[in-house]
Structure 1
Amino acid sequence: MSRRHTRALLAATAAAVLTLTGCAGWGGGPGGGGPNSINVLMVNNPQMIDLQRLTADNFTAETGINVNFTVLPENDVRDKISQEFSSQAGQYDVASLSNFEIPIYAKSKWIAPLDDYVAADTQFDQDDILKPMTQSLTADDGKLYGEPFYGESSFLMYRKDVLESAGLTMPEKPTWQQVAGIAAQVDNRQPGMRGICLRGQPGWGQIFAPLTTVVNTFGGTWFSKDWTPKVDAPEFTEATKFYVDLIRAHGENGAPQAGFTECLNNLIQGNVAMWYDATSAAGSLEADDSPVKGKIGYAPAPVVKTDSSGWLYAWSWSIQQASDKKDNAWKFISWASGKQYEELVGRQVGWSSVPAGKRASTYENQDYLGVASSFAEPTRAAIESADPRNPGVQERPAIGIQFVDIPEFTDLGTQVSQYVSSAIAGQMSVDEALERGQRLAEDVAERYKSREEDQQ
């Protein structure tokens, strides 16, 4: 085991101890056992914390099933879930996994298929789940292994008033070239305001979340169908140079360190006129205390060669294969991902806090639309246009839009992202960054080609 992985596991363990201690009043941590309890391991995102607080008075009161939560930050929970589910100890019955992990875990038989539960549950209504979500949580064997708690795609957010003052109109379906042109014209339109914010922070889930969608629509891909690496191919190179040049010419200050949070703050504080990122950001932009509430327009993810280019991501629920409480685990999932739960959140927490992005019915709910009218339809359209199996112009060897759904991608994407971030900082050229990335991708491709040959 590498020292880096050892440190990660130690950090996860330490965080787990703190969580079990600090959240005991909320049922924090597996304990109690018994046939009428389940253990849930999940990320500490705000909507998950709402769920934790609402469970005892609602789900437990209705079903008699006690839920013991272990709640950890994202990086720590990923490490702990991997450790727990790979060992198949059965300590946790349910975990929050994303559509990145679920197909991988399903192939390893760490999680249980849900099809029989869905078929027998007359209230859950799988057909109401947005099709790309169901598709992204379905493994190669055709079985469903997860249910989304909330989901997102990506779109372009822009200051309507700033564009109007410059005599500009955002196209209904902008291209990246049009967006770059607008960024140039609104750059410094107001004192200290840059044209656009794009993530530059290293990380497979930071810079390469938006950048891989740009690569896709420029005609590039990480790997072709036969696992030939394409990181230094002309299309991948053109897309990356475009992205880096746009940031360097008209992007935010401190771009090599800017991730989702930094760009969100930049748009809220008036430091940038546009931002391409997650649809989930809209709730913060339109919050009652946001200085840009009502000033933001929402356009589809910019394209070049594809009809759409938005990504797809969902925090979802899966059941550990080794769990001996699968029936109760499904009852929890059915409740937490159900229509009734969204209505409960709307009534008790607020409609702006509803875990949206997963059900068609959410976008027909007038109470929800009352607070989300400006971004609800663009969000739904972005998610419904996402195609996790065919996100580019060529066939792919693995599912995924903003990632390649293989375990090795987390390290590959992160290492290459460090080079691209260095290019944004002017410390190396894009060509050099992608040449290094190609060598790393070749190592990954060699392993997969060998596996396919062994299976033949």
Structure 2
Amino acid sequence: MTKTTRALMGATALCGMAALAQAETLTIATVNNGDMIRMQELSSAFTEMHPEIELDWVTLEENVLRQRVTTDIATRGGQYDVLTIGTYEVPIWANQGWLVALDDLPEDYDVDDLLPSIRAGLSVDGTLYAVPFYGESSMVMYRTDLAEAAGIEFPEAPTWDFIKEAAAAMTDKENEVYGVCMRGKAGWGENTAFITSMANSYGARWFDENWMPQFDSEAWQTAFSDYLMLQNEYGAPGSANNGFNENLALFQQGKCGMWIDATVAASFVTNPDDSTVADKVGFALAPDNGLGKRGNWLWAWSLGIPAGTDAEDAAKTFVAWATSKEYAELVAENEGWANVPPGTRTSLYENPAYLEAADFAEMTLESINAADPQNPTVDPVPYTGIQFVAIPEFQGIGTAVGQQFAAALAGQKSAEEALQAAQDLTMQEMKAGGYIQ
């Protein structure tokens, strides 16, 4: 055998070994918010531990993410190996057989450490079908300096009447300070989520016990009128285009007296690297209207694995890492304890380092624990869910209703016209779905 032949055989063997060692690629679809972007930045720690797995990130705006992952999983398109999905999708998709069961996670993952309400929302018949990256409710974040200057003392548990008074007192449009910032961008997870939660506290319901839409009720009329008044008189210009990310930027720039939104935002508005008002932020529970229900929701952005992926084992390895106690410690080491993804584990709220660093921690936990998806509003309802209705049709209906809400906020139609349109389109879809005759 010549030297050349031996060299060729050696090269062939090395190529074969390289092929065997070729990394498996996971395509991960995620939302473009701060915690998810941080996960992407820190994921080199995962690939160093698992050189056999490469990560390909697809980062999308919330409404776009929902549309694309829904289309892909429903058609079994196979574009993604890991999906960022929410508490609404998980049980519905699991019942359709679209998600991989996560009932074989490693023992050190400690499933029992997950907050009970968050875990329950991601399970079907006790089996987990997604793992929570962060959990949230909603609350009021407010400027303590503006409140003090206006002579306002914030209660821990404000009413909507108080919010109206505080918004008026803190608004200074000449200096581009707006009394209250709230979601206005159309989308079932954007303005529809916020307005539904607000309406719950007014006693409004999406449906009565016979699945009849209720947008023609007095409770909806009052809640939606108050929402429009707050946005139009004390909100930022162009609020019909503002969702979570846009309002976050406004608050961080010092342009909002109050921001009523997800508890997860607390670490963003108190981070001095990003927020100009980091040392001037106070927190209060989501408002109520004296009827025994607050306008706070329950949600988790979670990681799930679509059934049929050809990288199931690698995907399970990744989702377990990204939602583990060890990942929380990695974030704390690099960004500080206050920036650890909140709302998922009991142990986090028993950690003195976290409680000391995050002065919003106890209110976040209180808000999550107080949220009751089984009884979201004052009167009985046939559905589960607070800021959404846990039926497959809701994604389409909620988006269409959100477009009506946004049109009213933009001045394209009256409150009455928007609610009537919401009533009519919801009635039509519920008849088509067989819920009502």
User: Taking structure 2 as the reference length, what is the TM-score of the superposition?
Assistant: 0.85
2:251 maps to 1:267: yes
Shift of 1:196: 1.5
**Alpha-carbon spacing, 1:50–1:246, altered in 2? closer, same or farther (3 Å):** closer
Paired residue for 1:425, among 410, 426, 432?
410
2:379 maps to 1:394: yes
Shift of 1:327: 4.3
Three-state SS of the structure 2 residue aligned to 1:196 is: strand
The whole-number CA distance in structure 2 between the counterparts of 1:390 and 1:95 is 29
Paired residue for 1:405, among 375, 384, 390?
390
**Alpha-carbon spacing, 1:54–1:232, altered in 2? closer, same or farther (3 Å):** same
The whole-number CA distance in structure 1 between the counterparts of 2:199 and 2:287 is 12
Amino acid at match of 1:420: F
Paired residue for 2:211, among 222, 227, 234?
227
Larger Rg: 2
The whole-number CA distance in structure 2 between the counterparts of 1:321 and 1:425 is 41
**Alpha-carbon spacing, 1:242–1:328, altered in 2? closer, same or farther (3 Å):** same
Paired residue for 2:220, among 236, 240, 243?
236
Three-state SS of the structure 1 residue aligned to 2:373 is: coil
**Contact 1:135/1:388, CA 8 A, preserved across alignment:** no
**Contact 2:29/2:80, CA 8 A, preserved across alignment:** no
Shift of 1:324: 5.5
The whole-number CA distance in structure 1 between the counterparts of 2:246 and 2:68 is 27
**Alpha-carbon spacing, 1:394–1:330, altered in 2? closer, same or farther (3 Å):** farther
**Alpha-carbon spacing, 1:183–1:49, altered in 2? closer, same or farther (3 Å):** closer
Three-state SS of the structure 1 residue aligned to 2:256 is: coil
**Contact 1:132/1:388, CA 8 A, preserved across alignment:** no
Gaps of 5+ in 1: 1-31
2:104 maps to 1:117: yes
Shift of 1:210: 1.5
**Contact 1:231/1:441, CA 8 A, preserved across alignment:** no
What corresponds to 2:112 in structure 1?
A: 127
**Contact 1:155/1:278, CA 8 A, preserved across alignment:** yes
The whole-number CA distance in structure 2 between the counterparts of 1:247 and 1:174 is 18
Of stretches 78-87 and 231-240 in structure 1, the one that deviates more from structure 2 is 78-87
2:65 maps to 1:81: no
Three-state SS of the structure 1 residue aligned to 2:26 is: strand
**Alpha-carbon spacing, 1:102–1:34, altered in 2? closer, same or farther (3 Å):** farther
What corresponds to 1:69 in structure 2?
A: 56
The whole-number CA distance in structure 2 between the counterparts of 1:55 and 1:192 is 39
What corresponds to 1:39 in structure 2?
A: 26
What corresponds to 2:185 in structure 1?
A: 201
Paired residue for 1:318, among 281, 289, 304?
304
Paired residue for 2:369, among 384, 394, 398?
384
| 1:324-335 superposed matches below 5 A | 326-335=312-321
The whole-number CA distance in structure 1 between the counterparts of 2:113 and 2:416 is 45
Paired residue for 1:186, among 153, 161, 170?
170
Amino acid at match of 1:387: D
Paired residue for 2:84, among 83, 96, 118?
96
Amino acid at match of 1:157: M
The whole-number CA distance in structure 1 between the counterparts of 2:414 and 2:294 is 29
The whole-number CA distance in structure 2 between the counterparts of 1:422 and 1:52 is 36
Amino acid at match of 1:385: A
Aligned-CA RMSD value:
2.8
Paired residue for 2:345, among 359, 365, 377?
359
**Contact 1:38/1:92, CA 8 A, preserved across alignment:** no
The whole-number CA distance in structure 2 between the counterparts of 1:92 and 1:272 is 38
Of stretches 78-87 and 197-206 in structure 1, the one that deviates more from structure 2 is 78-87
Shift of 1:397: 3.3
Shift of 1:297: 0.8
What corresponds to 2:11 in structure 1?
A: none
2:321 maps to 1:345: no
The whole-number CA distance in structure 2 between the counterparts of 1:226 and 1:63 is 52
The whole-number CA distance in structure 1 between the counterparts of 2:133 and 2:388 is 20
Deviation per CA, 1:101-131, whole angstroms, max 9, x where unpaired?
11221121111222x325xx32122222122
**Contact 2:139/2:283, CA 8 A, preserved across alignment:** yes
Indicate the percent of aligned positions where both proteins have the same amino acid.
39
The whole-number CA distance in structure 2 between the counterparts of 1:157 and 1:253 is 20
**Alpha-carbon spacing, 1:308–1:360, altered in 2? closer, same or farther (3 Å):** farther
Deviation per CA, 1:135-179, whole angstroms, max 9, x where unpaired?
22123x443211101122210111122222222211221111221
**Alpha-carbon spacing, 1:390–1:429, altered in 2? closer, same or farther (3 Å):** same
Shift of 1:433: 0.9
What corresponds to 2:427 in structure 1?
A: 442
Gaps of 5+ in 2: 1-18
**Contact 2:26/2:311, CA 8 A, preserved across alignment:** no
Deviation per CA, 1:56-107, whole angstroms, max 9, x where unpaired?
5x44554565143342314444344334322446664432211121122112
2:125 maps to 1:165: no
Shift of 1:53: 4.5
| 1:12-23 superposed matches below 5 A | none
The whole-number CA distance in structure 1 between the counterparts of 2:249 and 2:233 is 20
The whole-number CA distance in structure 2 between the counterparts of 1:167 and 1:372 is 26
Q: How many residues align?
A: 415
What corresponds to 2:12 in structure 1?
A: none
The whole-number CA distance in structure 2 between the counterparts of 1:91 and 1:251 is 40
**Alpha-carbon spacing, 1:34–1:442, altered in 2? closer, same or farther (3 Å):** farther
Of stretches 210-219 and 254-263 in structure 1, the one that deviates more from structure 2 is 254-263
Shift of 1:250: 2.4
**Contact 2:200/2:294, CA 8 A, preserved across alignment:** no
Amino acid at match of 1:394: D
The whole-number CA distance in structure 1 between the counterparts of 2:325 and 2:104 is 17
**Contact 2:200/2:293, CA 8 A, preserved across alignment:** no
User: Taking structure 1 as the reference length, what is the TM-score of the superposition?
Assistant: 0.82
What corresponds to 2:36 in structure 1?
A: 48
Shift of 1:191: 4.3
What corresponds to 1:10 in structure 2?
A: none
Deviation per CA, 1:412-442, whole angstroms, max 9, x where unpaired?
2232223222323333221111011100110
**Alpha-carbon spacing, 1:146–1:306, altered in 2? closer, same or farther (3 Å):** farther
**Contact 1:89/1:322, CA 8 A, preserved across alignment:** no
